[in-house]
Chain A
Amino acid sequence: MWKSALHLAAKDIKLFFRDRTALSLSLVLPIVLATVFGTAMKGMSGGGSGGGIKALTLVVQDEDRTDASQKLITALTETDGIRVQPETDGRAVVRNGQAAMALVVPAGYGQSLQAGEIPDLLLLKDPSRSLAVQVLSGRMLPALIEQNLDMAKGPAFRNFLGKLGFPEDGMDDAVEIFEGTFASMDLLTSELEAQGAFEEENASEESSDGEGEAEGGAGFDFLNDVPEMLGLRSEEVIDTTNQPASSAGVSHAFAAMAVMMLMFSLVAGAGTLLDEKEQGTLMRLQLIPNARDAILLGKTMLLGTIGLLQLAMLFLFGMFAFDVPVLEHLTEIVVISLATVAACAAMGMLFATLSKTRKQLEGSSTLVILGMSALGGAWFPREMTPDIFQKLGNFTLTAWSMDAYHGSMWYGKKLWPTEVEGSTLAGIWPQIAVLLAIAVVLGLIARWAFRRRFLQRA
C-alpha cells in the first residue's frame, strides 16, 4: 500500500509542478500578499524601509504670516513623519478628502504669543480618517510643545498655568521650576542624542506617546486635552449629524467589497470566452456572418448585466442592513457603478483574451485583483501605506472607484463641483472619467487580443 501511495504522490507532485497556475497560487501569491501587507503595516506602525517612519500629509493654512507662525511651520516641517502641505483653504482640502487634517494658524497668532496669551490654532479633521488624524495629532505635539517652551520664558506660560487652575501665589516658583526642568531636560537630551540613544527608539516613542499617556491619567486624554491647552481647537469638517458615526467605515467597506468582488465576478464571467474556445462553440460562432465583434460585445453585455446585478444587490443589502446612504446619493452611485462595471468588464475581457485556459485566467487574475485591492485601498487606508504603494495605487481601478464611492457616500460629492459652506466641493467626474478611460483602453486591448488570439479569420 505504501509503495502505491508513494507512487501516486510522486505522480501528483510532478503534475503539481507542471501546473503553473497551481504553483503561482500556492507559492507566489502568499509571498506577494505577505509582502504587500508587511510593507503596508510596517509603514503604518512606523518602520519605513529606510529606517524612518511613514510621512502623513498635514495641510497648513498660515493666515498669520509672521516669524512666529513660520517658526511653527518650520518645526512641523522638520518633524519626522509629517509632510507639511501649505494651502490657502485647508477646510476645502479636508472637506474634499484630499487630506485627513489641516492646521489653521489664524491671523494674530504671533501677536498672541508676544502678548503672553495662549495662541489660537484650529485643527480641521476628517472623522472618517481617524487613524491618520490620531497619528498626525501625536506627531505634531512635540513641535507645538517646542513652540510653547518660548512661552515658558514669558507671561504666556503664566496664562497657561492659570487656565489649568494653578494658584497665583505659587506661580513664580512654578515658572522657575518649569524652566529649570526643561533646561535640565535640554542638557540631558543633548547628551543622549550625542550617544545616539534616540535613533532606535524614535519610532516606538512615536507610537507609544499618545496611547500610553492617554491611558495614564484619569479623565485626561493626552491627544485631545494637551492640544487644547496648547491653544488648539478641533473641528470636524464633515457634518455627521444626519449619518451615523460608523457610516464612513461602512461606506468604505461596501465600496471595497463591491469593487473587489466585482472584479472577481467579471473575470470569471469573461472566462466563458475560454469555455467557448475549449468546447468548440467559439469556432462555430466565427462561422456566423458579421459575428466577429458581436462575440466580444455579447460577452461584454453579459458582464455588464452580472456586474450591475451584483452591485444592486450589494448596495440594497447595505442600505437596509447597515444604513449605507444609497438613496441620498443614488444618481452618483448609479453613475459610479456603471463606470466601475465598464472598467471591470473590460479588465475581465482583457484577462480572458490574454489567457490560454480558464486555469491560467484564474491564477493570473487572482494575483492581480488581490494586489489591486491592497494597493487601491480596499483593505487599509492608502494614506497609511508607503508612497510607492500610493503611486502604484493610482494605476488601479480599485482606487479610482473607491475614491468615487467614498467621495459620494461620505463627503457628499456630486458629479460636478458644488458650493458647500463657502468652499468648493469637488465633483467625482474625474474619477468617472478615469474609470471610463480605463474601460476604453483595456477594452481596445482586449479587442485586439481577441482578434489576434481567438479569431482565426484573417
Chain B
Amino acid sequence: MTHALQLQGLTRRYGEQTALRGFDLALERGEFLGLLGPNGAGKTTTLRMISCVDQPDEGAVEVLGLSAATQADAILGRIGVVPQEIALYDDLTALENLEFYAGLYGLQGSQRTERVTWALDQAGLQDRKASRVGGFSGGMKRRLNLVAALMHEPELVLLDEPTVGVDPQSRNHLLEMIAGLRGSVSLIYTTHQMGEIERLCDRIAIMDEGRLVASGTMDELRVQAQSQLGGGQRLHLEDASQLQRAIEILQAQGVAASTVQVGADLESIFLATTGKALRDGDA
C-alpha cells in the first residue's frame, strides 16, 4: 500500500529567501502527524505544496499515490484542508455554507443532505443551522470551518492551527472531533499548542529553517533530545514518591543531582531542538 504522503527533497525559494531546503517527510495511511516548527520554519509552505497551491523548485510531492505536479485536481478531490483563516461566508447560514461547499465537491441529493446533517451534528450546530455565520462565536465558526473541509470524506486531512482563538471548551470539542476521525483519515496537524499535538498525534515532525530536524513518537523524541536537555544518565523510579529518598542516597554516595526532571515534555523537546532565539518569519 502506498503512503498517504511522501515528500522528497523539497526545496522552495521565494526570491532571496529559501523556505524549504531538501525537506523529506512521509506519512503512513491512517497516521496522525504533528508538524511543529517555529515561525518561518516552512510549515505553511509544506502544507501549500501538499494542497497543490504551490510547487517545489526541486523535489517531489506525492499525495495518496498521486503526483502533485500532474494530478492536482485528482488530489484535491481526496484531501480536506482546514485553513487557519475561517473561510466561511458570514452572510450565509451554517446550513447554506455547508451546502455550498458540498455542492462544489459535487455532492447531490440525499448524499448531500446526509453529509450536511453529519457535519452539523459533528460541529454541534444542528440547532443553529439556520443562523447566519456572522453572528457565531469564534468557537462555533472554528467547528464549522473544520467540518466544511470534511464534507467530501477526504482521505487525507490537513489542519493548520485549527484551534486558534477559541475558548477551552470549544478547543476540547474540536480536539474530540479530530480524534474521532481516527481510523478513517490520515492527518497532518500544525499548531503551536504542544499539548494538542501530544494529545492527538502518533508521530511528531519538527521543522526548522526549511529542514526536518527531528521526527518520531514522543518517546523517541525524548531519547533524541536527551543529550540536548543536559546529558547525564536516566534513573527510572517505579514509584515517584521515592524520588526524595533516591536523591538522598545518591548524595550520600557523592553523586551530584543538580537537575531533577520528571520526563521531558514536548515543549522542552521543541525548544531543545530548535533553540530559544525569537523567530518572526512566516514561510
Q: Tell me how far the C-beta of B232 lies from the nearest C-beta in chain A, rounded to whole angstroms.
A: 47
Q: Tell me how far the C-beta of B99 lies from the nearest C-beta in chain A, rounded to whole angstroms.
A: 14
The answer to whether the Cβ of A456 comes within 8 Å of any Cβ in the partner chain is yes
Which A residues touch B55, using CB under 8 A?
458
Which B residues touch A354, using CB under 8 A?
none
The answer to whether the Cβ of B250 comes within 8 Å of any Cβ in the partner chain is no
Contact B81 A287 (CB under 8 A): yes
Closest to A286 in B: B53
Interface window among A15-23, A172-180, A258-266, A288-296: A288-296
The answer to whether the Cβ of B88 comes within 8 Å of any Cβ in the partner chain is yes
Contact B85 A458 (CB under 8 A): no
Closest to A281 in B: B87
Which B residues touch A288, using CB under 8 A?
76, 104-105
Which B residues touch A161, using CB under 8 A?
none
Contact B54 A457 (CB under 8 A): yes
Expressed in whole angstroms, the Cα–Cα distance for A284 and B89 within the complex equals 11
Contact A456 B54 (CB under 8 A): yes
Q: Tell me how far the C-beta of B94 lies from the nearest C-beta in chain A, rounded to whole angstroms.
A: 15
Q: What's the count of A-B pairs with C-beta under 8 Å?
A: 49
Contact B85 A280 (CB under 8 A): yes
Contact A456 B76 (CB under 8 A): no
Contact A283 B104 (CB under 8 A): no
The answer to whether the Cβ of A285 comes within 8 Å of any Cβ in the partner chain is yes
The answer to whether the Cβ of B83 comes within 8 Å of any Cβ in the partner chain is yes
Closest to A280 in B: B85
Contact A279 B85 (CB under 8 A): yes
Interface of A is mostly: loop
Contact B72 A283 (CB under 8 A): no
Contact B85 A283 (CB under 8 A): yes
Bitwise, B60-89 to A at CB < 8 A (1) or not (0) is 000000000000111011010101011111
Expressed in whole angstroms, the Cα–Cα distance for A280 and B51 within the complex equals 15
Which A residues touch B86, using CB under 8 A?
279-280
Q: Tell me how far the C-beta of B107 lies from the nearest C-beta in chain A, rounded to whole angstroms.
A: 12
Q: Tell me how far the C-beta of B119 lies from the nearest C-beta in chain A, rounded to whole angstroms.
A: 15
Expressed in whole angstroms, the Cα–Cα distance for A284 and B105 within the complex equals 12
Chain A 269-317 residues near chain B, CB threshold 8 A:
279-281, 283-291
Point out the residue from B48, B85, B87, B104 that lies within 8 Å of A456, measured CB to CB. Answer: B48
Bitwise, A444-458 to B at CB < 8 A (1) or not (0) is 000000000001111
Known interface pairs A283-B87, A289-B74; A458-B54 also in contact (CB < 8 Å): yes
Point out the residue from B48, B54, B73, B148 that lies within 8 Å of A289, measured CB to CB. Answer: B73
Closest to B72 in A: A457
Expressed in whole angstroms, the Cα–Cα distance for A283 and B104 within the complex equals 14
Which A residues touch B101, using CB under 8 A?
284
The answer to whether the Cβ of B52 comes within 8 Å of any Cβ in the partner chain is yes
Known interface pairs A457-B53, A457-B54, A458-B54; A283-B83 also in contact (CB < 8 Å): yes
Bitwise, B39-58 to A at CB < 8 A (1) or not (0) is 00000000010011111000
Interface size on A, residues (CB 8 A): 16
Closest to A292 in B: B73
Contact B52 A457 (CB under 8 A): yes
Which B residues touch A279, using CB under 8 A?
85-87, 90
Closest to B73 in A: A289
Chain B 86-102 residues near chain A, CB threshold 8 A:
86-90, 101
Which A residues touch B74, using CB under 8 A?
289
Which A residues touch B77, using CB under 8 A?
289
Which A residues touch B87, using CB under 8 A?
279-281, 283-284
Expressed in whole angstroms, the Cα–Cα distance for A283 and B53 within the complex equals 9
Q: Tell me how far the C-beta of B154 lies from the nearest C-beta in chain A, rounded to whole angstroms.
A: 10
Expressed in whole angstroms, the Cα–Cα distance for A287 and B154 within the complex equals 12
Closest to A284 in B: B87
Contact A280 B53 (CB under 8 A): no
Contact A291 B85 (CB under 8 A): no
Q: Tell me how far the C-beta of A277 lies from the nearest C-beta in chain B, rounded to whole angstroms.
A: 10
Which B residues touch A291, using CB under 8 A?
104
Known interface pairs A456-B53, A457-B54, A458-B54; A284-B83 also in contact (CB < 8 Å): yes
Closest to A283 in B: B83
Expressed in whole angstroms, the Cα–Cα distance for A280 and B97 within the complex equals 14
Expressed in whole angstroms, the Cα–Cα distance for A279 and B76 within the complex equals 21
Closest to A288 in B: B104
Expressed in whole angstroms, the Cα–Cα distance for A283 and B51 within the complex equals 11
Closest to B55 in A: A458
Which A residues touch B90, using CB under 8 A?
279
Known interface pairs A456-B48, A457-B52, A457-B54; A287-B76 also in contact (CB < 8 Å): yes
Contact A290 B73 (CB under 8 A): yes
Contact B54 A284 (CB under 8 A): no
Expressed in whole angstroms, the Cα–Cα distance for A287 and B52 within the complex equals 8
Q: A279-B86, A279-B87, A287-B76 are in contact. List 7 more A-B contacts (CB 8 A).
A: A279-B85, A283-B53, A284-B87, A284-B148, A287-B79, A288-B104, A455-B53
* The 5 residue pairs across chains A and B that have the minimum distance between CB atoms: A280-B85, A284-B87, A280-B87, A289-B73, A456-B53
The contact sample of 14 A-B pairs, CB cut-off 8 A, is A279-B90, A281-B87, A281-B88, A284-B101, A285-B104, A287-B51, A288-B76, A289-B77, A289-B105, A290-B73, A291-B104, A457-B72, A458-B54, A458-B55
